[in-house]
Structure 1
């Protein structure tokens, strides 16, 4: 699917909250696709605080505990998102007419896999697969366990902007690791010549005492016993 995204940053300003006497900066980033979709994010102090859900007709706040001021700002934020929706399509239409043959920007992602907690056999955990610095924001994650695709326990988070105009996204897999299991995350993006795969398996904790260390300790003990025995018999010899 050919998706072109034009991201514009607009409506930058500071707002004052009387309850806390603190100023916060609200920013809006929006982009529209050739397919007709529009994405509008609301940034609070440079962090993504919410996004416009045009199917619900409201701004959905992504922050865990939005303040009352932020909640009161919801209606106004959605009105701005609606204005961004109309403006974005207008700008995209003009851009396509100005240079219809311009190549679409593409950036291949970098990937990384990690767990929420230190891996322990039989202990519930979460695996995260991060795809970062990619463009356009269309990407696919596939999880496998021992070579078999896994869909249960998988959740894909929303796309997020990077400061350079690229995007990052995380896919999460809840699981219970067992010794010998191998989990893989495969990332597919149109800018990558081939799928990018990262693997994870449980690292079992091994004894710190290596065979060489055991041998050294045993040798030292016998050495000390030999020295002690020699000293004893030497002192017991008759004068």
Structure 2
């Protein structure tokens, strides 16, 4: 059984506001799992601004220019995140004991594939594979090029929360498309009877000739053929 627990903590106004700038809502969410994985996200005004990286023992900012007041409290934010580990596992243990027979929630994902830029032959691009609305939050992405598995340039991004309690996650692949190549993303989740696979390839090049030009060209060819046939039969008439 896997239980996801969320706690929202709103810090004091001294942390979230200053005399020269409008107040901000700074809070964090944390969740833990039976696998001992703990996730702590920091939010400013409901937007993800950073997360705790326990391997590096620091908070990693997810926005390019975080507010000054957030950076000033970086050490304190990490201490709060670290304290959440024991608290989260304590609540998880109590939740399991209180409802040991409950069924695990199961939600199968949907998937979608798209590119950063309109695909052009020979130009570097990024392709994204989105898996959405799944639970529990364990999912696997596999990229292939012409049915051959590839890992170079692939990156699985962090899980994100949906408002209904499910999760979404994106995997990206840096690639240089070539005409005829087919890129596929396969999503595996234990709720699926079979993996979901979405494919992408360069769209066919549109003809540079307009319909009017094509019509004019065909008409001209037919006209010349008609003139040629007329000349042929005229020259064949008995003198």
Residue in 2 that maps onto 1:151 = 151
Residue in 2 that maps onto 1:121 = 121
For 1:215-234, list aligned pairs within 5 A. Answer: 215=215, 218-219=218-219
- The question of whether the paired residues in 2 share the 8 Å contact of 1:4 and 1:33 is answered with yes
Whole-angstrom CA distance in 1 between matches of 2:131 and 2:29: 20
- The question of whether the paired residues in 1 share the 8 Å contact of 2:16 and 2:26 is answered with no
**Residue 225 of structure 2 corresponds to residue 198 of structure 1:** no
Q: Determine helix, strand or coil for the equivalent of 1:9.
A: coil
List structure 1 runs of 4+ shifted beyond 4 angstroms.
208-213, 220-223
Residue in 1 that maps onto 2:38 = 38
Q: 1:159 to 1:20 in 2, by over 3 A?
A: farther
Per the TM alignment, residue 100 of structure 1 is displaced from its structure 2 partner at its CA by 1.3
Whole-angstrom CA distance in 2 between matches of 1:174 and 1:205: 22
Per the TM alignment, residue 209 of structure 1 is displaced from its structure 2 partner at its CA by 4.2
**Residue 10 of structure 2 corresponds to residue 12 of structure 1:** yes
Per the TM alignment, residue 115 of structure 1 is displaced from its structure 2 partner at its CA by 0.6
Per the TM alignment, residue 86 of structure 1 is displaced from its structure 2 partner at its CA by 1.7
- The question of whether the paired residues in 2 share the 8 Å contact of 1:7 and 1:29 is answered with no
TM-score by length of 1: 0.84
- The question of whether the paired residues in 2 share the 8 Å contact of 1:113 and 1:198 is answered with yes
Residue in 2 that maps onto 1:135 = 135
Q: Deviations over 1:62-116 (max 9, x none)?
A: 1112232111121221222123222211111111111212111121111111111
Greater CA deviation, 43-52 or 9-18? 9-18
Per the TM alignment, residue 218 of structure 1 is displaced from its structure 2 partner at its CA by 4.7
- The question of whether the paired residues in 2 share the 8 Å contact of 1:186 and 1:198 is answered with yes
- The question of whether the paired residues in 2 share the 8 Å contact of 1:48 and 1:62 is answered with yes
TM-score by length of 2: 0.84
Whole-angstrom CA distance in 2 between matches of 1:16 and 1:39: 22
Residue in 2 that maps onto 1:88 = 88
Greater CA deviation, 164-173 or 144-153? 164-173
Whole-angstrom CA distance in 1 between matches of 2:67 and 2:165: 29
The structure with the largest strand share of the pair is 1
Number of aligned residue pairs: 221
Per the TM alignment, residue 164 of structure 1 is displaced from its structure 2 partner at its CA by 1.5
For 1:160-171, list aligned pairs within 5 A. Answer: 160-171=160-171
Instruction: Give the superposed CA RMSD.
Output: 2.4
For 1:29-68, list aligned pairs within 5 A. Answer: 29-68=29-68
